[in-house]
Structure formats: C-alpha cells, structure tokens
Amino acid sequence: MERSVNHEQQLLEKARDRSAVIGIVGLGYVGLPLAMEMARAGYQVLGFDISRRAVDGINAGRSHVKDVPSDQLGRFVKAGTIAATTDLSRTKEPDLIAITVPTPLSKTRDPDVSYIVAATDSVARTLRPGQAIVLESTTYPGTTRDLMLPVLAKGGLKVGVDFFAAFSPERVDPGNPTFNTRNTPKIVGGVTAACTRVVTAIYEPAIDTLVPVASPEAAELVKLLENTFRSVNIGLVNEMAIVCDKLGVDVWEVIDAAATKPFGYMKFTPGPGVGGHCIPLDPHYLAWKMRSLNYRTRFIEVAGEINAQMPEYWVTKVVTALNEQGKAARGSQVLVVGVAYKKDIDDLRESPALDVIRLLQRMGAHVSYHDPYVAEVTEDDMRLRSVPLDAATVQGADCVIVVTDHSNTDFAMIGREAKALVDTRHVVPRAPAGR
C-alpha cells in the first residue's frame, strides 16, 4: 500500500486553508448546529441523513432544529456551503466525517448502538486514505476503539497513518441562550496522537476551545461523568423534596438557604423527573459497561430509581389535591402545563410529562395539556393536541399540574384561576395570605 503521502500533514494544511470538506452523518439537534459552525468557519459541509424530509427541508433552507434559525441556514444553503443528502455512498467525499446519530436505550435499558454500527458500516465501505472519522454520539467507553475501529480498519488502512479516528462527545444543551456548539469547550480523544492532532486542527476554526485528552475512552467517559454527575445530584435533591414533604418543611426554602453558602455547594432543584437524551440515558451506558466488568455502580442506580419515581410522586400530589375537593381521580379533568422535557424547547424525548399523563389516564382522569412548543403528542397509544391556555381552560380543570416551566407561560394567571394546583417547578406565584 502506498504510504509515501503524509496524510496527517495534508489534513493539517486543509484545516489551515479551510479547504477540508466536512461530512456530518445525522442532521438532528447535534449534527445541524455543528454543520452551521463548520460552515461559519469557512468549510464546505455535506450532511447525511436517512430522513428524506429532513434532507429536503435543509436543501430548501428550512431548519427542523429549533436552535438553528431557517434564515441563517438558508444563507449557507444558497451560498452552496451547506448541502444535504440521503446518499451514504457519498461519504467518500468529505475529509472529516462526524457521526452524530442517536444512541437510545433498548427496552431492556441496554445501549442500542445500532445507529452507530450502521453509520460506521456506511463510512467503512467508502473509506479512503486521508479521511478522519469522529464519533460524537454518546456511548459507553470502548465503543470507538472496540466497535468502530475494527470495521474501519478491515480494508487494510492503518489508523493514525492512512486514516484518523477519534471520539469527541457532543455537549449540546438545546435551548440554552448562553452556551452553544461554538462556545462550549470540545473534548477530543484520538486513537493515536496523530488522530488527536488532526481532529483538533480541523475543529479549531469552528470551536472556541478544544480540550485534547489521552484516548477515546477518556473522552467517552467525560460525557458520561458530566451527565451522571447531574443525574446523581438531581436524584439527591428529588429525594430531599420527598424528605421535606414528609417533615412538613418547604424544600425550596431549604435549597435557597443552602445556596447562600459561597463554597462547597452547587444548587440543584427538584422536579417531575429527568428527560432528554442525556441525563436519563447516559448513566445507564456507564452502569451497563461496568456490569460487564462485574462491578455494580450503586450510586448511579439509586439516583436513577429516585428520578424515575418522581412522576408517580407528583401524580400522588394530584390525587391528594383532588381528594381535598371531594373528587376522585377517575372522571376528573386534569390539565398538564408543559410536556417538553425542559423549558423553552420542543423536545419530548424521555419527558417525565409523558409518564405523568399515562399515570393519570390509567387512574381514569381526563387529561389535556398545554405546551406552546409541542402542538401534538403521539407517543405509543397517546394522541393529544395542545389546548389554549386561558382562564376558561384553567377554570375548567379540576386540577392543574405544572410540569414544564416555559418562559412564556402565564403562571400568575394559573395561580389565580386554578381550582387545585400542583407545581412541580415552583414557578407559580404563591397566593397572598388569607386568600
């Protein structure tokens, strides 16, 4: 095989003069914002997705990701800087390919890496000397080296010489007005030192801060640690909410008072559970991997159990609120305010609101919901449409439960008009004493 060409040097030069072509496999909430930043940095971007609807929309300048405005995307598309395709045979064209596909859990809560496997197989079929492959999808430690690398190298190309492979975890926080793809520091762990140098150099014009680590395993663990940290602390504060409830103490007062300590404490707040792709799933990836090594991650598992039981805890509060009116859950009208997994986004993945709705429906309650970002919920056998949020809607409900604290929701009106209220987010203004 011809080894006289210095592919590392070629890619470093393409990074310097922005002549590298960037390929992104998976154009969702991670891939499309990354495509935008690469295009802003001066690269040509070719996106890949199996969804014809998403690809056609992008090529028409229409964004399906809330954090990517269509007018900005349209300018890049019109300039020919960003294009999208469903033709995975074209993965031979880019110099760097970032894989940003979903990594859900299976029904048995085991990692489902089928999307990574499919993307890797597609890339391997067209892999040529002088390409860099970067996995960004959250996964368990060892995926890059043990799952991807053998497939990529089966054609005889040598990693770190002919092609370059690394893991660089996505750290996207959908809806965050402060931190985005560009200004969130990016971890890069290459299979070899040359892999890290190449990938870091190509990302550098698009990302403010690059953080190289010694291996893909270290990079994989960084992402899992970040979200396991959040899961464990959310689990702790959720349990504290239950403790305070049983002791007759206001948990929010306790949290706010604790947060006055200027050191040794980080404020977390309780809620209806955890949602999104990262916090409910990432700790399971780490726990699954450690079980294969005959180690039980007890801390992680307990936090997951507590967070998973929070929808049931809050539904019990709804039942109690109805009982205080002399009403049973069966036949009562319950209004759920907010179904996205967090404020000011339209993402339903793993949203605790869906569990709240299901639990209430199983009790025989008639459930409706309002969410300004989610017009319709079609999850499994659930078929609901968002209702207007006005005084008549609130007054018509026997109980209102606030699950998601969207900024544009009139919580003061809800507090005035609701017959009974369960506020999982502590956002409804409290009624004056003596009401």
Which residue is associated with the tokens 């492979």? 165
pTM for the full predicted model = 0.90
Q: What is the largest CA-CA distance in the chain?
A: 85
Cα dihedral 104, 105, 106, 110, rounded to 10, equals 140
Could you tell me the two tokens for 137?
């999808």
Which residue is associated with the tokens 């709705």? 357
Q: How far apart are CA 304 and CA 232, in angstroms?
A: 8
pLDDT exceeds cutoff 70 at 3: no
Question: Can you list the alpha helix ranges (DSSP code H) found in 282-390?
Answer: 282-291, 298-323, 352-362
pLDDT exceeds cutoff 50 at 300: yes
Question: Residue 195 catalytic?
Answer: no
End-to-end CA distance of the chain: 83
Q: What's at 42, amino acid-wise? A: G
Cα dihedral 115, 119, 121, 123, rounded to 10, equals -170
DSSP designation for 342: S
pLDDT exceeds cutoff 50 at 433: no
Q: How far apart are CA 415 and CA 417, in angstroms?
A: 6
Q: Per-residue DSSP letters for 135-202?
A: E-S---TTIIIIIIHHHHHTTSPPBTTTEEEEE------TT-SS--TTTS-EEEEESSHHHHHHHHHH
Q: How far apart are CA 217 and CA 190, in angstroms?
A: 9
What CA–CA distances, in Å, run from 48 to 31, 94, 135?
9, 11, 14
Residue 431: the pLDDT is 65
In terms of Cα–Cα distance, which of 246, 292, 244, 299 is closest to 269?
A: 244
Looking at 195, 244, 278, 399, which residue is catalytic? 278
pLDDT band (50, 70, 90) for residue 432: low
Q: What's at 331, amino acid-wise? A: G
Distance of CA 218 to the CA centre of its chain: 20
Could you tell me the two tokens for 117?
């496997």
Helix axes 193-203, 7-17, angle to 10 degrees: 20
Q: How far apart are CA 375 and CA 388, in angstroms?
A: 10
Residue 258: the pLDDT is 97
Residue 435: the pLDDT is 45
Mean pLDDT of the 179-207 span: 98
pLDDT band (50, 70, 90) for residue 4: confident
**204: enclosing H helix or E strand:** none
Residue 332: how many CB atoms within 10 A of its CB? Answer: 22
- For residues 279 and 314, the answer to whether their CB atoms sit within 8 Å is no
Encode pLDDT of 163-178 as tens digits.
999 999 999 888 888 9
Q: How far apart are CA 287 and CA 309, in angstroms?
A: 19
Domains and CATH numbers, the chain: 7-214 (3.40.50.720), 259-423 (3.40.50.720)
Q: Give the residues across from 377 on adjacent strands.
A: 384
Q: What percent of the chain has pLDDT over 90?
A: 88
Mean pLDDT of the 183-190 span: 98
pLDDT band (50, 70, 90) for residue 375: very high
Q: What's at 83, amino acid-wise? A: A
pLDDT exceeds cutoff 80 at 349: yes
Q: How far apart are CA 365 and CA 335, in angstroms?
A: 10
Residue 427: the pLDDT is 97
Length of the chain: 435
Residue 207: the pLDDT is 98
Q: Is the dihedral of CA 281, 228, 341, 68 positive or negative?
A: negative
Phi then psi for residue 191, to 5 deg, are: -65, -35
Contacts of 304 (CB under 8 A, 6+ apart): 231, 235, 280, 283, 284, 287
Q: What's at 62, amino acid-wise? A: R
Q: How far apart are CA 170 and CA 284, in angstroms?
A: 17
Cβ burial, residue 266 (10 Å; 0-12/13-18/19+):
exposed
Helix axes 298-323, 282-291, angle to 10 degrees: 140
Encode pLDDT of 230-282 as tens digits.
999 999 999 999 999 999 999 999 999 999 999 999 999 999 999 877 777 88
3-class SS of residue 402: strand
Residue 219: how many CB atoms within 10 A of its CB? Answer: 26
Contacts of 199 (CB under 8 A, 6+ apart): 96, 132, 134, 164, 166, 168, 188, 190
3-class SS of residue 274: coil
Q: How far apart are CA 243 and CA 13, in angstroms?
A: 59
